[in-house]
Amino acid sequence: MFTNAIDQKKPSDIRLVVRIEGGLVQAVYANCPAVIRVAIMDYDIQGGDPDEMLELDDGTRFLGHIEETFESPCFVPEVFAAFDETVPVMDGQQQHYLAHKGMVCPVCGESDTEAGRHFDADGLNASVTVRCNPCASTWTDHYQLVGFDNLVGAVTNK
Ligand SMILES: [Zn+2]
């Protein structure tokens, strides 16, 4: 795949899902293996737990606590799909995929996957669509031309 120069205007590949119940943040899910610490600021301080009452330097009071993200490579894409958004694949997922030689589904982890017969080749690069039979996820594998061997030359003498 290609690496893009960092574009400040482009959102990063990290996606978070914040789960709220009864007006309280219950959990933060991420699509990346890195643990992200998230400070929760609740300005509704009425009737809040005094242990969670915090204050900024300027005197702003809020109820606060720290949540750490849970890596959830299946749940996060499910939630974003409800917004019709696809979730970018993260590096950890790529490494796992390559370590298993592309024989495991990135979504469900099963090895019953099937590559399409049609290779889309473009000089140095080729790609093929892969489908996971158990969970019906699909993705595109990318290949790169690395060289050649077994050269048998047909010498032409004139
Ligand atoms: Zn699968």
3-state class (DSSP) for residue 29: strand
83 and 20 co-located in one domain: yes
In a domain, 128, yes or no: yes
pLDDT of 5 over the 80 cut: no
In a domain, 58, yes or no: yes
pLDDT at res. 8: 62
76 CA → ligand 1 middle, Å: 15
In a domain, 5, yes or no: no
Count: domains in the chain? 2
pTM for the structure as a whole: 0.56
3-state class (DSSP) for residue 71: strand
138 and 118 co-located in one domain: yes
75 CA → ligand 1 middle, Å: 13
pLDDT of 59 over the 80 cut: yes
In a domain, 154, yes or no: no
26 and 65 co-located in one domain: yes
Range of the domain at 140: 100-147
105 CA → ligand 1 middle, Å: 5
